[in-house]
Amino acid sequence: MKLATHTPGALETRLRKIRDEGRKILVPYITGGLTGWVEAVRGAAANGADAIEIGIPFSDPVMDGPIIQMASEKALRDGATPNSILHELRTIDVAVPLIVMCYYNTVFRAGHDRFASTLRDSGVVGAIVPDLPLEESVQWASAADKSQIETVMLAAPTAPDERLPRVIDRARGFVYAVGLLGVTGERAELATTAVAMATRLKKITDIPVLVGVGISNAEQAMQACAVADGVIQGASVVRRLLEDGPDSVATYVAQVRAAIDSPIVSNR
């Protein structure tokens, strides 16, 4: 295993501490701008989320399945903009780190430096840009570094072994292990690629490894956490927010928290 050579930022330090204390990391995803999203963020923070990923809706979300597409379209129709969402984050006052998920055109249009400093000023500590692979990430990554925004890199099951160390080398905060071949969304079973991907990554890095995409319920979160340091849950959270409102998000987060804290997982 290769030890990280960068100095961990606020997000990574926090997640490393949780991991080193023997706990699993839970990161729910919530589409910004949806009715009740701010309440949902607070509810998730109060019920066991270790960090929260806020999605900035984009017109053409190619990495997202039907639920998050629908949420993005709805938020955009209701007038959400990157500015309106980041503005609300300034006053949200939750005790967990906030990470933004946005497609690259949102960053590019705003300008790398301006976007990074706006994130920082809004209290955001991390960013995930799913359509910005390693080779295209230089400009953004350097702007993000300057503003202390930790850029989470995605590692996919299709990556050959020689590629993973280069991706990890640029990862800050944590490594996002893509759990399956496909876009975000709920699946009946946890894909075998989820644990396989976490295993490949854990062998070669000490940065926290979180599995996301296709982690659809508490049971699947437990299965992924048998190897991974934690999970990211998107569609299952957003679907609850869309269907039943923010309280259901809080209940769900508490349920997943309890599941991944159960002795079966920690005593692996």
Partner 1 sequence: MNAKPVPTELLTPGADGRFGDFGGRYVPETLVPACEELERAFDDAWNDSLFRTELDDLLREYAGRPSILTECHNLGAQLGIRLILKREDLNHTGSHKINSVLGQALLAKRMGKKRIIAETGAGQHGVASATAAALLGLECKVYMGAVDVERQSLNVFRMKLLGATVEAANSGSRTLKDAVNEAMRDWVASVETSYYCIGSVMGPHPYPFMVRQFQSVIGKEARKQFRTMCDGADPNVVVACVGGGSNAMGIFSGFIDAKTRLVGVEPAGGAAVGRGTPGVVHGMKSYLMQDEYGQVQEAHSISAGLDYPGVGPEHSYLASVGRAEYPSVNDQEVIEGFKLLARTEGIIPALECAHAVAWIAKEAPKIQGQTVLMNLSGRGDKDVAQMMTILGDKLD
Active-site amino acid positions: 53, 64
Instruction: Specify the DSSP class assigned to residue 205.
Output: B
Binding partner 1 by CB under 8 A: which of 125, 127, 167, 228? 167
Is residue 79 near partner 1 by the rule CB under 8 A? no
CB 64 within 8 A of CB 53: no
Is residue 105 near partner 1 by the rule CB under 8 A? yes
CA distances from 125 to 34, 114, 162 (A): 22, 15, 29
Is residue 104 near partner 1 by the rule CB under 8 A? yes
Is residue 63 near partner 1 by the rule CB under 8 A? yes
Separation between Cα atoms, residue 233 and residue 79, nearest integer Å:
25
Is residue 175 near partner 1 by the rule CB under 8 A? no
CB 48 within 8 A of CB 257: yes
Binding partner 1 by CB under 8 A: which of 13, 83, 251, 266? 83
Is residue 139 near partner 1 by the rule CB under 8 A? no
CA distances from 255 to 57, 108, 262 (A): 27, 38, 11
Which residue lies nearer to partner 1 by CB, 31 or 69?
Answer: 69
Is residue 81 near partner 1 by the rule CB under 8 A? yes
Neighbouring residues of 20: CB distance < 8 A, sequence distance ≥ 6: none
* DSSP β-bridge partners for residue 25: 230
As measured in angstroms, the least distance from the Cβ of 95 to partner 1 is 29
Residues in touch with partner 1 (CB under 8 A) = 58-63, 65, 69, 73, 76, 81-83, 104-106, 108-110, 130-136, 153-160, 163, 167, 178, 181-183
